[in-house]
Amino acid sequence: MPDNKAVVYQGPGKVSVEETPYPEFEVKDGPGVNPANVGRKVQHGVIVKTIATNICGSDQHMVRGRTTAPVGLTLGHEITGEVVETGRDVEFIKVGDLVSVPFNIACGRCRNCKEGKTDVCENVNPDRAGSAYGYVDMGGWVGGQAKYVLVPYADWNLLKFPDRDQAMEKILDLAMLSDIFPTGFHGCVSAKVGPGSTVYIAGAGPVGLAAACSAFLLGAAVVIVGDLNKERLAQARSFGCETVDVSAGDPKDQIEQILGVPEVDCAVDAVGFEARGHGREAQQERPATVLNTLMDVARAGGALGIPGLYVTGDPGAADEAARHGSLSIRIGLGWSKSHSFVTGQCPVMRYHRRLMMAILHDRVQIAKAVNATPIPLEDAPRGYAEFDHGAARKYVLDPHGMLAAA
């Protein structure tokens, strides 16, 4: 049996790479595992040898100590790999297949899955609808920042790449399919981005950059990205975005300088609950700032896509209400402007295959847009630290050296 290593949360600000058990076709007890899931048989699953597994901003929220994630939790929900074992009940996925793993874990059988709402599957997390690998309060499925990982309901969840050689040539782009590319795309679809749209995207981290790339793919005329990190704003400009430095003041004024009017057709929140203020408050946490700004700059009758993460429990929040997920948003403003809002996890499978085809047929260069940067699994602590300090990169862990070889 091969050895296994994984990235493990060791408390606020600290991760380490540890020896961990090789996966079995059964959910074992461990940090963060829901007791009702312990002993669950997973003969519908496969073992994946991880080719690429990415560090996500959602992981960073946990590592900063901004969630109730337990020490010892194996991290990682953005997984691309090769199938090396199949469970007894797997019919269509075969050993040797190269696959993308949606970060949502879904059974394919419940009402929500049958309606395409794989982000809120009812059968994989005993506490609430919706699940993910290596994430707090998501059922306890072991994370994929590891050499090997168990993937349940494989015939339903996995997206097989049609040609191995072609996939390995584009593997960095394809590694973005497990989360940030569909998530950014979902934010834009939710905001009703289309041909000729003007779009404001709050946040120039990897999801914000993926959303900007998606907006162009959907035909947007002007894509404006707002952030206070100058290196990340430069990355946004590198593929044609206009930018707004929110530390310089109200985005609305800067949007007017770009467009001639202080509003956009569509707005996307790619920041979430650790949002900072604008202008003189740019170094202070103001968790409702982005949502209120989007309502301010989106035109009447416009739409807001909100793929940025918001939580029900934030022990590090600046005030008591925010610790329980309550924010002072200007819902009256959104109501008066007849805005529509779409929140929640991206249902990855809704977009998965189409975005794969866009990559394989050279319609998009998502890895270049987000500055995907491969590093060895052992360098994960460095990747987390640099990402936390604002590096304009999407760190991709390479557990077996296959990215370097490619």
CATH number at residue 230: 3.40.50.720
Indicate the residue among 343, 358, 382 that finishes a domain: 343
Nearest to 171 by CA among 356, 380, 369: 356
Q: Is the pLDDT of residue 30 over 90?
A: yes
Planar angle of CA 114, 179, 78, nearest 5 degrees: 110
Residue 384 has which token pair?
A: 């987390």
Residue 248 has which token pair?
A: 């310089």
| Mean pLDDT to the nearest integer, 281-287 | 83
* Residue 160 neighbours by CB distance under 10 Å: 15
Amino acid in the structure at residue 367 = A
Averaged pLDDT score across all residues of the chain: 95
Burial of 381 (0-12, 13-18, 19+ CB in 10 A): middle
Confidence of residue 282 (pLDDT cuts 50, 70, 90): confident
Same domain, 171 and 191: no
- Asked if residues 358 and 143 have their Cβ atoms less than 8 Å apart, the reply is no
| Mean pLDDT to the nearest integer, 287-295 | 92
Planar angle of CA 248, 300, 264, nearest 5 degrees: 40
How would you classify residue 38: left for phi > 0, otherwise alpha for psi between -120 and 50, otherwise beta?
Answer: beta
Confidence of residue 168 (pLDDT cuts 50, 70, 90): very high
Confidence of residue 18 (pLDDT cuts 50, 70, 90): very high
- Asked if residues 155 and 90 have their Cβ atoms less than 8 Å apart, the reply is yes
Same domain, 357 and 324: no
pLDDT at 324: 81
Indicate the residue among 303, 325, 343 that finishes a domain: 343
Same domain, 51 and 173: yes
* Residues 108-134: tens digit of each pLDDT: 999 999 999 999 999 999 999 999 999
Same domain, 203 and 334: yes
- Asked if residues 149 and 47 have their Cβ atoms less than 8 Å apart, the reply is yes
Over pLDDT 90: what percentage of the chain? 87
Q: Is the pLDDT of residue 74 over 80?
A: yes
Q: What is the model's pTM? A: 0.96
Same domain, 193 and 339: yes
Same domain, 22 and 124: yes
d(CA 11, CA 341): 34
Instruction: Tell me the H-state helices in 146-288.
Output: 154-157, 164-169, 171-174, 180-190, 206-217, 230-237, 251-259
Same domain, 332 and 190: yes
Indicate the residue among 322, 343, 364 that finishes a domain: 343
* Residues 340-356: tens digit of each pLDDT: 999 999 999 999 999 99
**C-alpha dihedral sign at 154, 107, 58, 138:** negative
Q: Which residues of 103-136 are buried (b: 16+ CB within 10 A; e: fewer)?
A: bbbbbeebebbeeebbbbbbbbbeeeebbbbbbb
Residue 181 has which token pair?
A: 């590319």
Q: What is the per-residue DSSP string for 106-143?
A: --S-SHHHHTT-GGG-SSS-SSSS--BTT-TTTT-PPP
Same domain, 246 and 153: no
| Mean pLDDT to the nearest integer, 177-195 | 98
Given the DSSP bridges, would you call strands 15-19 and 5-9 parallel, antiparallel or unpaired?
Answer: antiparallel
Cα distances from 274 to residues 8, 246, 375, in angstroms, run 22, 15, 26
Instruction: Indicate which CATH number applies to the domain containing 25.
Output: 3.90.180.10
Q: What distance, in Å, lies between the first and last C-alpha atoms of the chain?
A: 25
Same domain, 12 and 61: yes
User: Does residue 375 sit in helix, strand or coil?
Assistant: strand
Domain that holds residue 273: 181-343
Q: How many domains does one find in the chain?
A: 2
- Asked if residues 307 and 298 have their Cβ atoms less than 8 Å apart, the reply is no
Residue 103 has which token pair?
A: 């970060």
Same domain, 297 and 206: yes
Stretch among 111-115, 167-171, 271-275 having the lowest mean pLDDT: 271-275
* Residue 3 neighbours by CB distance under 10 Å: 10
Same domain, 60 and 128: yes
* Residue 50 neighbours by CB distance under 10 Å: 25
Same domain, 117 and 257: no
d(CA 48, CA 57): 23
